[in-house]
Amino acid sequence: MLERGANQKKPSTTLLEEIARALDVPVHALISDNRPVAVAGRVGAGATVELVDAYAKGDGLYHVACPDDLPASGIVAVEVQGDSMSPIIQNGDVLFFTRHFVGIDENAINRVGICETADGRALVKYIRPGREPHTFDLHSANNSNQTEYSVPLKWAAPLRRHISQQDIQRL
């Protein structure tokens, strides 16, 4: 009834809490125009960042508003650490991607993507097919870091959206 607009009364706090629990989102996500996305961690752009899942679902370093052109669920946000992708992507920028698959998303190949290497590093790089089977070449946007050749990846996802540090709307 709420979704169809058939219920003319506002839902009670208890009902909002139950809906939020069922959807696994914070209550404020149901009543705010800003759809919050947790910045789950950091991704290296020249800096070495180990991929660590240190937060419960919905928690993170901080929350940002989800861009209007992205879906409300399934979005992951990470903060960039380092400058190997500048001038395109800068230290402190926030990147959005989707991980609805296991392994390498083919849409991440031959474009900028977020990935986890076999040795546990989280990176943002231009991802190209590697010189050896089942490996990838990881390119920086500038010469501050050399290209890493024939790197085995656990997973890779295409970059969906990039927000510059000065344009981030923290919630």
Asked whether residue 71 falls in the same domain as residue 117, the answer is: yes
Question: What are the structure tokens assigned to 97, written together?
Answer: 């991607």
Which residue from 103, 118, 111, 109 is spatially nearest to 155, judged by alpha carbons?
103
Cβ atoms 63, 123 nearer than 8 A: no
Asked whether residue 22 falls in the same domain as residue 90, the answer is: no
Cβ atoms 49, 61 nearer than 8 A: no
Asked whether residue 13 falls in the same domain as residue 42, the answer is: no
Asked whether residue 116 falls in the same domain as residue 157, the answer is: yes
- At residue 117, the 3 state secondary structure works out as strand
Cβ atoms 45, 89 nearer than 8 A: yes
Residue 108: domain span: 35-167
Asked whether residue 82 falls in the same domain as residue 21, the answer is: no
127 secondary structure, DSSP code: E
The region of weakest confidence among 53-67, 76-90, 147-161 is 53-67
What would the pLDDT profile of 104-142 be if each residue is shown by its tens digit? 999 999 999 999 999 999 999 999 999 999 999 999 998
Query: Given a cut of 90, is residue 57 above it in pLDDT?
Result: no
145 secondary structure, DSSP code: S
Share of the chain above pLDDT 90, in %: 54
Asked whether residue 21 falls in the same domain as residue 74, the answer is: no
- The reported pTM is 0.79
